[in-house]
């Protein structure tokens, strides 16, 4: 149609050709999106766990920056985010945090963030202004529906209660409302402290434990060795998926795709679409 429009100098046909080309491009984009996110659990919500790693106080601060980045990304998508647990570090930042993200394709997209994230910058906590490298890990688990059966024996779960720290009001700090659950056979630990009621925290912690165990069982079903499945539950430093360099230059580099961008501020503010999409497309093409 475009060739005909050019030959006939027909502006109306050229405009129509442009409109149809845009429609085809969108249809192809939608097909790619569905192919990328065709997993059984991709269309549902996600549970995120952020954990500070090597790097001292800078790592704790970096973990908090990562949490903000992921929350901002979720907000851009119109998803609902709930902070289930947040353990503050002594000097700055957080030791760990657990978030529940509810929204269409939240797990399918956020699973691209699963792994170790590396930050390079001039440390704001170093009086001598030296460059510091720090690490934090993001673990992404599908928030499974209640109709998915997960066998959890009562004797395999240890439940501890404790007083929630940090912000939350007088009631939170005066009662043992926070709940920590440990699945003894696998060593999986989940905790929840954002609710005032211990019963509510226990219900949410149990739901997170079900999701973690389901993810664990999926790894075994995929014919991975038992040791490999357990390794997924650990933070392995030195195998970062992405580096965020703020000094001596500014660049975000996804090591899985080698996609680089100099818009570090935008990425840290939740602009992750290009990074996530590139990774998921590469993963989908590798499978196909």
pLDDT of residue 116: 94
For the cut 80, the answer to whether the pLDDT of residue 271 exceeds it is yes
Cross-strand partners of 157: 183
pLDDT of residue 92: 93
pLDDT of residue 170: 44
For the cut 70, the answer to whether the pLDDT of residue 230 exceeds it is no
For the cut 90, the answer to whether the pLDDT of residue 129 exceeds it is no
Q: Whose structure tokens read 């529906």?
A: 145
For the cut 80, the answer to whether the pLDDT of residue 102 exceeds it is yes
CA-CA distances (angstroms) from residue 178 to 55, 58, 77, 189?
28, 27, 30, 13
Residue 175 exposure: Cα atoms within 13 Å on the Cβ side:
14
Question: Per the structure block, which two tokens stand in for 6?
Answer: 């050019």
**Which residue has better confidence, 58 or 151?**
58
Closest to 242 (Cα-Cα) out of 136, 110, 117, 129: 117
Of the ranges 96-100, 164-168, 182-186, 201-205, which one carries the lowest mean pLDDT score?
Answer: 164-168
Average pLDDT over residues 233-243: 69
Average pLDDT over residues 218-242: 59
Q: 48-73 burial, b if ≥16 CB within 10 A, otherwise e?
A: bbbbbbebebbbbbbbbbbbebbbbb
The band of 59, judged by pLDDT with boundaries at 50, 70 and 90, is very high
For the cut 60, the answer to whether the pLDDT of residue 126 exceeds it is yes
Question: Per the structure block, which two tokens stand in for 225?
Answer: 């060795």
The band of 168, judged by pLDDT with boundaries at 50, 70 and 90, is very low
Whether the Cβ atoms of residue 188 and residue 212 lie closer than 8 Å to each other: yes
Average pLDDT over residues 127-155: 88
pLDDT of residue 238: 58
pLDDT of residue 89: 94
The band of 42, judged by pLDDT with boundaries at 50, 70 and 90, is very high
The band of 87, judged by pLDDT with boundaries at 50, 70 and 90, is very high
Question: Distance between CA 95 and CA 165 in Å, rounded?
Answer: 12
The band of 221, judged by pLDDT with boundaries at 50, 70 and 90, is low
**Which residue has better confidence, 35 or 96?**
96
**Which residue has better confidence, 243 or 34?**
243
pTM of the predicted model as reported, rounded to 2 decimal places: 0.74
The mean pLDDT value of the chain amounts to: 87
Whether the Cβ atoms of residue 114 and residue 139 lie closer than 8 Å to each other: yes
Strands (E), 109-236: 115-122, 131-142, 157-162, 178-183, 188-192
Q: What is the DSSP letter of 95?
A: E
Average pLDDT over residues 213-220: 80
For the cut 50, the answer to whether the pLDDT of residue 54 exceeds it is yes
pLDDT of residue 151: 83
């Amino acid at each position: 149609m475009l060739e005909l429009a050019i030959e006939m100098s027909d502006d109306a046909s050229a405009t129509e050709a442009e409109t149809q080309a845009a429609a085809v491009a969108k249809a192809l984009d939608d097909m790619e999106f569905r192919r990328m996110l065709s997993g059984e659990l991709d269309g549902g919500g996600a549970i995120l766990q952020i954990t500070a790693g090597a790097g001292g106080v800078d790592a704790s601060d970096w973990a908090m920056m990562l949490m903000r980045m992921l929350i901002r990304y979720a907000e851009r998508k119109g998803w609902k985010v709930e902070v289930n647990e947040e353990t503050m570090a002594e000097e700055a930042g957080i030791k760990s945090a657990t978030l529940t993200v509810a929204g269409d394709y939240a797990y399918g997209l956020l699973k691209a963030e699963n792994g170790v994230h590396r930050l390079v910058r001039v440390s704001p906590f170093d009086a001598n202004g030296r460059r510091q490298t720090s690490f934090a890990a993001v673990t992404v688990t599908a928030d499974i529906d209640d109709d998915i059966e997960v066998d959890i024996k009562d004797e395999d779960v240890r439940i501890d209660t404790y007083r929630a720290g940090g912000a939350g009001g007088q009631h939170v700090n005066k009662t043992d409302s926070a709940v920590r659950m440990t699945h003894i056979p696998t060593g999986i630990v989940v905790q929840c402290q954002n609710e005032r009621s211990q019963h509510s925290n226990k219900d949410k912690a149990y739901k997170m434990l079900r999701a973690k165990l389901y993810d664990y069982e999926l790894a075994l079903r995929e014919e991975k060795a038992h040791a490999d499945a357990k390794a997924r539950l650990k933070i392995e430093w030195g195998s970062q998926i992405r580096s965020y360099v703020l000094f001596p230059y500014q660049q975000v580099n996804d090591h899985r795709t080698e996609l680089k961008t100099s818009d570090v501020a935008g990425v840290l503010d939740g602009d992750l679409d290009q990074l996530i999409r590139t990774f998921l497309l590469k993963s989908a093409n590798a499978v196909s």
